[in-house]
Structure 1
Amino acid sequence: MEKNEMCIQFLLAKALQRVSQLSKSKFQTYGITPVQFSILRELWRTDGQLGSELGKHLRIDSATITGIIDRMERNGFIKRQSDPHDRRNKLIFLTEKGKEMEVILTQKMVELNHEVMEDFNVEETRWFKKMLNTIGSGDMKKNENQSL
């Protein structure tokens, strides 16, 4: 086994690099990033959410989500409106542009997922996603006897 194959961080970074290049080619034309797609997807499901709710659903910290929302608002995908129940809060809503992008951007994500996972069967894909979710959530069980 090569030295780089023993480093999970290196392997994940190389995989992310490939997926990032593919996603850039899919979404760049529409002026959207994969993270912004995730925010749009949450709003397509339930429009009118607090930025903090979006951040919680997507596991993005408040400072980062605020910057992403600012850019998406400048680009006309979303708009902020005062919460009628608490004027201190701003709810995030889709604009017409954001709503109109649902079909095409969802199709681009389907294409991206297919390209990335085409060499894996259904069971391998399911396990891969489960492992990524476990790593990404920080819920990995600590096992002192486990080694690479």
Structure 2
Amino acid sequence: MERLEDCLSFVIGKAQQQVTKASREALAPFGVTPVQFAILKVLWERDGLNGAELCSRLVLDSATMAGLIDRMETGGWLERRADPGGDRRMSRVYLTEKGAQLEKSLNEAMDRVNAQFVKALGEERAASLWRGLEAIANLSIPERRSTPAVSAAAKATLTE
């Protein structure tokens, strides 16, 4: 390669910085980071997961996840409870009322972020990019093969 900009890792990294910056700005009014949003999103889909299940879904290590859960518990969004099956070695993570109430607002904020980038790229190019990035992301994770669509809210934002 002749230039740094010809390196896929560099270009993806720069794009990731832009998306993360926009996400941080959108979530900041709620006091939530993009990674905390991801944890909340997973728990809105299925509350009561254990740490290992969250790590697997978000592809994070257990030390990182433990620190995130600690901070989110302190923030009042989550709580740990004993495993209902009686396994004393494991706790499960549940949304608090405060965490559950954030769902609509945070989803709307992230829909706006997604729509911002889809608008900048154009819908066709954005869909192609999304498929390409998912293909790269799924290379080492064969069980993840679904393609999330741009939400109806994000599409509506595009037409406004």
Pair in the same fold by TM > 0.5 = yes
Residue 151 of structure 2 is matched in structure 1 by: none
2:61 & 2:132 partners in 1: Cα distance?
22
Residue 77 of structure 1 is matched in structure 2 by: 77
Deviates more, 1:86-95 or 1:113-122: 113-122
Residue 111 of structure 1 is matched in structure 2 by: 112
2:64 & 2:131 partners in 1: Cα distance?
25
- Per-residue CA deviations over 1:16-38 (Å, capped at 9, x if unaligned) read 22112211110111111111111
| Residue correspondences, number | 140
Residue 157 of structure 2 is matched in structure 1 by: none
1:66 & 1:130 partners in 2: Cα distance?
31
Residue 63 of structure 2 is matched in structure 1 by: 63
Q: Percent same amino acid at aligned positions?
A: 39
1:131 & 1:63 partners in 2: Cα distance?
30
- Residues 138 and 62 from structure 1, CA distance in 2 versus in 1: closer, same or farther, beyond 3 angstroms? farther
- Residues 127 and 37 from structure 1, CA distance in 2 versus in 1: closer, same or farther, beyond 3 angstroms? same
- Per-residue CA deviations over 1:37-77 (Å, capped at 9, x if unaligned) read 11111111111111111111111122221111111111111
- Residues 36 and 42 from structure 1, CA distance in 2 versus in 1: closer, same or farther, beyond 3 angstroms? same
Q: How does 1:94-105 map to 2 (within 5 A)?
A: 94-105=95-106
2:93 & 2:7 partners in 1: Cα distance?
40
TM-score by length of 2: 0.79
1:126 & 1:52 partners in 2: Cα distance?
31
Find out whether 1:14 has 2:10 as its counterpart: no
1:119 & 1:9 partners in 2: Cα distance?
21
Q: Which runs of 4+ in 1 moved over 6 A?
A: none
Q: Which runs of 5 or more residues in structure 2 are unaligned?
A: 142-160
CA RMSD of aligned residues (A): 2.0
